[in-house]
Structure 1
């Protein structure tokens, strides 16, 4: 499907930009030869065909083809021009709008009626004209509309094509490729599911919520010891500082994460109550009369969902830097969080101790230059593998096929820098296969752009490392059993004696 783009837009300056006309002219001339044709075949791409400056408005007219779409070209110009104006004239750019935007689509062989129906209720579309081709005329588009790639989504809608998962497009090494593995292997201690035995021994008890457990003293002691070893050997050894992140995350933050696009069905949504005492008085009366909870009345008293329970744990880190200018002399910034549970809705996939809806993790997050982020990620991976050896696990590391920040996404974001390998997935042997116990992720500029994180000079990237401590415990019990004397020295030396199980007359059930 052939596409041609025609955009007229404005950059809003913080002062009179007319004094910078000569520098703007040189910049646009250079951009037409380089920046706006980057990644396009020869004689293709985008071009600024007209421009002018009036006080604090810099107006641009851009024409382009499908190789560099005009709205992408418009965005490409923004940061370099801002640097020129700021450095030489102490003028900033405060935003952008596409005042007029048209896309001409070659409709040969296309179902025109279907396209018109698809776009009839799209708020960004002003009207559709049909002549030799199909022309989509947009309403004025804000900076948010442009950066959220609304136009690309509309194009995808009319193309109707099923795209490959984004991770397979981005990754330079095929997902599933094994990169590292343990040098020696041991026989697993258990020939049965660790969950069944943990229940029989009273180490855990099922909670009424799906995918939830109460973890009792022996389990908690083992969990805390494994967590302490992991913290000492990985984040603290590598110079990370501990923080306490919120676990109730506003939907607006999740939108910036792109989680709502990729995996909206995998989160717990939170609705705050309305300030309406009458509804809750009625709820209490109905509850007193009926045996069942009056859910319909409760729904009346709730606002629309406004939050999710943290599904990734690193969300507050990117929000902390949102719209901030980083200090390059402070980089890399490296922090870790282990303050509470993470929540994901596993649906019917929830089972046992290794796939739960509520679980404990150790999350490490970092921001720095490209080189610093790559180096930190490799240091974390090396430390990760060293701890797995200390735990005497049978393990391997493969190229992940589901980095959390790309999971479920198929649309490639232009001008976002991705690493050659977005995710290093760490897997440990389990009964009948293997389970993922964590990962090392490099995000490129995915969150830098999504959260509008600014840098004065060099490009910055972000990365994170997840240690699924709840799964570490399940894997540990499968490898080493429940007998303290059989455990590896790194754990046994820290636990002299396991605490007793609290018992009732009927629980735990006699074996």
Structure 2
């Protein structure tokens, strides 16, 4: 993984050789080790890593952090092979390369900053079609009720959901200037006529009480706190804005800091939630067929922070609680096949039922599950697999996009 051109290099040993999946995770999560780290790559089939770092970095301190980081990641020794629950090929093998740069050239996407992208034209139309397709099928298949929730979330709620424990590196915190006349005036004065943000001092900001929501489903559990779910269960759906900071891993439409999700949540008994997951798998198979997309549904894990990665990832795989829908996109420059995780199907057990005192019809802690589809990644995959000429797209997808465009 190349972050930017390193100026200095070193080689560090690993206690063992790692497989390709773990090597990929080690490289991806290394961006959180140190601001002095420019790149880290695992040498294929060898127990060592190549490190690029900034000129002038404290090498001893960097090596010490890297050692602790690598030890934490390598603690995952009981890896469970991911199971593929469904796989589909495509009639055509053609693939479009450099989709995001081509979207920028056409004016169908605009880069506002790291991890922040807006869509327009056919790309925006496609995003709307994807969202509405899932929404309509959720209403039809699950009788899902529509909801809307804020983009901000209370920090206390994230703590109750365990997010600070498992994914602290991904959180985007929200604050504001303190309610103090002199502090506000000092801040205003140093920014008068400025073309960039100037901060007087850290103490000028109020204590953090809110964050940008990093997981679409969280607000609904708070809304159902101390509620009892009827025997028929509860199913909700809504469009959400989600925010996950991923440092220099943020690139194109592959990985965004702010992105759009179509969310689905089931609440009720364990049997009800399990049935909801089975129905979601069948639904995604229908959509892949309708839109002639190649991809697969497989067991997966969340991107836990390094110090909890080994235990949490193993538990998720062993309990078979997280599935990802991975769609094919253009291969890497060396020809290696590449996919993007365009959505996930997750079982939570009674975790949120217990945390928020949500009860099922039997008076027990309610079980829950959620399905989230990242709209920008679906856009990326569809342009990758079908190109930019909408007239040549699969008929069912083409007619929806053209109809949406004519209506707008």
TM-score range, shorter chain: 0.7 to 0.9
Instruction: Tell me the equivalent position of 1:379.
Output: 279
Distance 1:454 1:405 in 2: 31
Matches within 5 A, 1:322-401: 322=225, 324-329=226-231, 331-338=232-239, 340-401=240-301
Q: Supply the RMSD in Å over aligned alpha carbons.
A: 3.1
Contact 1:272–1:306 (8 Å) recurs in 2:
no
Residues in 2 aligned to 1:467 and 1:441: alpha-carbon distance in whole angstroms: 12
Deviations 1:199-255 (A, max 9, x none): 111111211x21111212222112112222222234443211110012211111111
Call closer, same or farther: CA 1:251–1:347 in 2, change over 3 Å.
same
Normalized per residue, the structure richer in helix is: 2
Q: Is the contact between residue 227 and residue 358 of structure 2 (CA under 8 Å) also seen in structure 1?
A: yes
Q: How far has the Cα of 1:264 moved from its partner?
A: 0.5
**2:321 matched to which residue of 1?**
422
Preserved CA contact (<8 Å) 2:73 2:307: no
Alpha-carbon contact 2:325-2:343 (below 8 Å) kept: yes
Mapped partners of 2:354, 2:122: distance in 1? 45
Q: Deviation digits for residues 104-159 of structure 1, max 9, x if unmatched?
A: xxxxxxxxxxxxxxxxxxxxxxxxxxxxxxxxxxxxxxxxxxxxxxxxxxxxxxxx
Deviation beyond 3 Å, 4+ runs, structure 1: 160-166, 289-292, 403-412, 416-420, 454-459, 495-500
Aligned match of 1:181: 87
Whether 2:189 is the aligned partner of 1:285: answer yes
Is 2:408 aligned against 1:467? no
Deviation at 1:188, TM superposition (A): 3.1
Consecutive unaligned residues of structure 1, counting only runs of 5 or more, are 1-159, 501-511
Aligned-pair CA distance for 1:467: 0.8
2:120 aligned with 1:216: yes
- Decide whether aligned partners of structure 1 residues 189 and 418 sit closer, same or farther in structure 2, where only a CA change above 3 A counts: closer
What is the rounded CA distance, in whole Å, between the counterparts of 2:105 and 2:346 in structure 1?
37
CA displacement, residues 256-275 of structure 1 (integer Å, 9 cap, x when unaligned): 11110001110111113321
* Equivalences for residues 36-435 of structure 1 within 5 A: 174-182=80-88, 184-190=90-96, 192-207=97-112, 209-288=113-192, 292-297=196-201, 299-322=202-225, 324-329=226-231, 331-338=232-239, 340-402=240-302, 408=308, 420-432=319-331, 433-435=338-340
Residue of structure 2 in register with 1:55 after alignment: none
Residues 451, 222 of structure 1: alpha-carbon distance in 2 compared, 3 angstrom cutoff = same
Distance 1:487 1:253, change over 3 A: same
> In the TM superposition, what whole-angstrom CA distance separates every residue of 1:475-494 from its partner, at most 9, and x where no partner exists?
00001111111111122112
**Cα distance in 1 for residues equivalent to 2:307 and 2:137:** 29
Residues 1:282 and 1:405: Cα distance change in structure 2 (over 3 Å): closer
Q: CA deviation at 1:181?
A: 0.6
How many residue pairs are counted as aligned between the two chains? 327
CA distance in 1, matches of 2:278, 2:386: 29
Instruction: Pick closer, same or farther for the CA change 1:478–1:373 going to 2, 3 Å.
Output: same
Mark the CA change 1:235 to 1:351 in structure 2 (over 3 Å): closer, same or farther: farther
C-alpha change, 1:453 and 1:238, in structure 2 (3 Å) is closer
Say which SS state the counterpart of residue 195 (structure 1) adopts. Answer: helix
Cα displacement (A) at 1:292? 4.2
Contact 1:258 1:405 in 2 (8 A): no
SS of the aligned residue for 1:379 comes to helix
Q: Deviations over 1:389-408 (max 9, x none)?
A: 21211011111122889994
Q: 2:347 aligns with which of 442, 452, 463?
A: 442
Residue of structure 2 in register with 1:453 after alignment: 358
CA distance in 1, matches of 2:330, 2:218: 33
Distance 1:195 1:161 in 2: 34
**SS where residue 328 of structure 2 aligns?**
strand
* Structure 2 CA distance for partners of 1:326 and 1:359, relative to 1, 3 Å: same
User: 2:349, 2:369 within 8 Å by CA — same for their partners in 1?
Assistant: yes
Residue-by-residue CA offset, 1:303-343 (whole Å, 9 max, x unaligned): 12211111111111111222x141443x41000111x4211
Q: Deviation at 1:175?
A: 4.8
Would you say the 8 A contact 1:204–1:216 is kept in 2?
yes
The alignment's TM-score, normalised by the length of structure 1, stands at: 0.59
Q: Is the 8 A contact 1:443 1:462 kept in 2?
A: yes
SS state at 1:494 partner: helix
Contact kept? 1:163, 1:411, Cα under 8 Å? no
